C-alpha cells in the first residue's frame, strides 16, 4: 500500500505522487521526501496529511493547498520551494524569510 493514494511505484522502493513528489517509504512509518527529508506522516480518510518535521514540528497539508504547509506550533503558513537544483527551501510567511531544509 502506498503512503499517498494513486502514487506510482518507482525503482528501489521509491514512490511518486503527482502532487506530493517523490519519497521513499520505510517499514517503520517514516518517509524520506526528496525535498523535505525525513518526516513522519499521519493521513486521515479526508486526505488531511499531517507530517512531523524535525525543524518545524507538526505541519498540515492536503493536495489542494500543497506546497503550502500549516505549522501547528506557530499557527502560521510555510511554503515549500521545491528543488530544481541545489537544496529545497522553506519560505516562512510569519518572518518573511527563506530557510534551507537540513536533511
Close Cβ partners of 20 (under 8 Å, ≥ 6 residues apart): 4, 7, 33, 49, 63, 66
Instruction: Report d(CA 46, CA 80) in Å as an integer.
Output: 22
Per-residue pLDDT band for 1 (boundaries 50, 70, 90) equals low
- pLDDT at position 40, please? 96
| Average pLDDT value for residue range 72-79 | 94
Residue 37 forms beta bridges with which residues? 33
Instruction: Report d(CA 92, CA 73) in Å as an integer.
Output: 13
**What would the pLDDT profile of 19-74 be if each residue is shown by its tens digit?**
999 999 999 999 999 999 999 999 887 789 999 999 899 999 999 999 999 999 99
- pLDDT at position 2, please? 65
Of residues 39 and 2, more confidence is placed in 39
Question: What is this structure's pTM?
Answer: 0.86
Do residues 78 and 67 make contact, with C-beta atoms less than 8 angstroms apart? Answer: no
Amino acid at each position: 500500500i502506498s503512503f499517498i493514494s494513486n502514487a506510482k511505484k518507482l525503482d528501489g522502493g521509491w514512490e511518486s505522487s503527482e502532487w506530493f513528489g517523490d519519497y521513499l517509504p520505510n517499514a517503520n512509518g517514516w518517509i524520506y521526501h526528496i525535498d523535505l527529508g525525513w518526516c513522519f506522516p499521519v493521513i486521515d480518510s479526508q486526505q488531511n496529511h499531517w507530517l512531523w518535521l524535525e525543524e518545524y514540528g507538526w505541519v498540515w497539508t492536503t493536495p489542494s493547498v500543497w506546497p503550502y504547509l500549516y505549522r501547528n506550533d506557530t499557527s502560521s503558513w510555510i511554503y515549500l520551494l521545491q528543488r530544481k537544483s541545489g537544496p529545497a527551501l522553506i519560505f516562512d510567511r510569519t518572518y518573511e524569510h527563506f530557510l534551507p531544509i537540513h536533511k
